[in-house]
Structure 1
């Protein structure tokens, strides 16, 4: 009986969510996960993209019917959870395969130890497997933008972001089954 009441309360809380704030810019796995969550819930909702989840959190706290969608491997997700225990709670989680993670560049490059690779901190080990020279950025999609703008020789990014920026895929690491978390207002 208690489980049914708890489940019913959770479903009502989830149905109230019409806005997801998450990591951008366009082309991130978090954006994809936000739209998938709405689709699975049969909710017409909006996904707003931010430079960091920490920036997105501010908007969640100020906006009724909103939630924060994070990736379980996002650096410092634990800080977001534990620093906001009085205002935020974990309301859902799910597994979704990411876009294929790729090494991409403006032109096909020969991998060598001198490459400067733009990478989000989460998949940085993919970059380190190719070169020790890594420049950290706020998202996989931002890594593709920085590569296109010549701020790095190559990037670890999503296949979607690489395609959108017109980059050449040098190496395809494939998709990664990933856990995404949804944090709602208390």
Structure 2
């Protein structure tokens, strides 16, 4: 397996985990990481050659559906623990330090202030993009995505030890 597919846009913990997995196997220059708007959408488009895999994480809200709903074409072949990027509550410059609306992926939504209205985002990086575009006053995102979009860090929760999973995609019944 040298072609990994995972959640984008760039700056997600899953993207970092995919690159780490390739590096650990000596495939950094020979492998590829492709980013998708959703893991579910990625799984629909991944070639079923056995050389492609989906990278997910144990806290992905629909991981059980990905695993059990795709037993004929996808199998979990590896997992590893690695720290995420620093997880942050961020806001666009000039926004309130306690945002009333917070864009977040469902997985880290518990990091949003309890009094804030939560606006679902497809990924941590998408949450940062939504915040930068003014869809929300704040976001729960990675430090990498916050910096990429010029956001101010309101609260830094630090890196989170995370279990990442690798799912090989193969032909029907292989």
TM-score (normalised: structure 1): 0.86
Alignment-derived partner of residue 91 in structure 1 = 77
Structure having the higher helix fraction is 1
Offset of 1:62 from its aligned partner?
4.2
Residue 19 of structure 2: aligned partner: 35
SS of the residue aligned with 1:179?
A: strand
Match for residue 107 of structure 2? 122
Structure of higher CA gyration radius: 1
Identify the residue that residue 139 of structure 2 maps to in structure 1.
Answer: 155
- Runs of 5+ consecutive residues of structure 2 not aligned to the other structure: none
| Runs of 4 or more above 6 Å deviation | none
Relative contact order (alpha carbons < 8 A, sep ≥ 6): 1 or 2 greater? 2
- In the other structure, the counterpart of 2:96 is 109
Aligned-partner SS, 1:42: coil
TM-score by length of 2: 0.92
Partner of 2:59: 73
Match of 2:158 in 1: 174
- After TM superposition, the structure 1 stretch with the greater mean CA deviation from structure 2, 163-172 or 60-69, is 60-69
Note the residue ranges of structure 1 that are not aligned, 5 or more in a row.
Answer: 1-16
How many residue pairs end up in the alignment?
Answer: 167
